[in-house]
Chains A and B, each alone.
Chain A
Amino acid sequence: MMFTAFWEILTVDNLIYLLKGAMVSLSMAALSLLIGLIFGVLGASAKISRNRFLRILGNIYVEVIRGTPMLLQIMLIFNVVPIMITQITGNVFRMNYFLIGVVAMSINSGAYTTELIRSGINGVDKGQWEACETLGLSRWQTMRLVILPQAFKRIIPPLISEFITLIKDSSLVSIIGLVELLNSAKVLGNQYYEFMSPYCLAGVYYLAMTLTISYFAKKLERKLAVSD
């Protein structure tokens, strides 16, 4: 029977327990988005650089990360990185599950953000570069003060989608044992011998997070449209 323990599970304590899991998922996604954004700016700068070596490096990063499953990336970081660091430093190194999640998701998100930022930069009119050039601004000043602010405005909608994807993909980190939202639901399921109810509740939490973000994203977009 499905939902046999629904009313039993629906207690304030259990809802708070799931909420804590949701907060882990949300903070992991938010941190990964921010760090991924830094990787994205670096990756995009490398991909549009005049230096061939940097361009190749940027391409390898994007292709390798986008071409392999995130689950595999999480497993690799979980299994390989601590061993590598232990071998290098000689001290036993244990990474916290949350940190593994953030590192894996940031690297993954960075590859997608690289492409977003690169297309955002390419979408800015060539005349903007030329105007800066005639005013004597350096390439870096032009990028930082004129191009990136315009590029970012263009990529806010896809960046929000990326955030939503990260919230959902954070469930993949449950594979290494981190108690985020999905794993919290699983723990409740184990406790009550019924999984449908806690999984559906987790679904409601995921939806609540993603819909709220979409709502604020739309408001932000409208506010930013002032200078369009």
Chain B
Amino acid sequence: MPLHHHDSDQQTTAHVALVIFQVAQYWVALEARYVLAMTDQPQGLLKANAQTLLHADAPPHEQLPPDRWLTLNNRQRNDLTSTWQLGVNGDITLRQLPVTTMHPLPPLLQARRFTPALCGVAFDQHQLVLLLDARKLSP
């Protein structure tokens, strides 16, 4: 992830712009520069529910249909004009998190993850945020 360095102390001010949303009971983030747009309705044919992609199983009463759609590049097609939409439910926020709060996924978990896009975790105010590599997500 690219870092936005400020003029002063690099170590304490480097941040990453993230689009943060909730998937089931988990907080999830995508790097903001890979999110092209956000809509209330799906606009294309290619779409996927974030809950399914993340294998974030939730009890039936907690499974909510997507009500927001994030537009991402479709990297699988080697065509940067091709896009798809990731469906999420609930509020979506744009946040700058300090790099000091972000950690790569530990090696044992990296070896066993079901979703290659799951690349790390961050702690934001004692809350775990799952970091996804948008380039490895596909519908």
The answer to whether A and B belong to the same complex is no
Contact residues of A with B, CB < 8 Å?
none
- Chain B residues engaging chain A, CB cutoff 8 angstroms: none
